[in-house]
Amino acid sequence: METQLNILSLLDLIFLFVISIFLGVELIAKVPSILHTPLMSGSNAISGITIVGALLAVGLTPGSTFCTILGTLAVIFATVNVVGGYVVTDRMLKMFKTKLPGDKK
């Protein structure tokens, strides 16, 4: 938790950021509107990736009780986001069925 951002690593990260935005747009544009609700809850679960930061905030801040408390709270909220998101998405997608032959669930 101690590393500081310098201009070179910043440029690398911005590069990743821009490319990923374009990739995301391409991917999501292909999702049919019938699946938009599960798409939203599923992508929402992905945004719980901030859990990585939360885990580091608890685990890599030795000697600071306040950081441990903050980090634990962050882990709780990020886990709710991740677990809740994936489970509810699965629950929704399980319901999508078809009667067309050869396409059975």
Tell me if 102 contacts other proteins by CB under 8 A: no
User: Among 47, 58, 70, which Cα is nearest to 1's?
Assistant: 58
Residue 78, C-beta contacts closer than 8 angstroms, at least 6 positions apart: 48, 50, 51, 53, 54
- Shortest Cβ 88–other proteins spacing (Å): 4
Tell me if 79 contacts other proteins by CB under 8 A: yes
Tell me if 101 contacts other proteins by CB under 8 A: no
Tell me if 76 contacts other proteins by CB under 8 A: yes
Which amino acid, one-letter code, is at 28? I
- Shortest Cβ 65–other proteins spacing (Å): 10
- Shortest Cβ 39–other proteins spacing (Å): 5
SS3 content of the chain, % helix, strand, coil (to 5): 75, 0, 25
Tell me if 32 contacts other proteins by CB under 8 A: yes
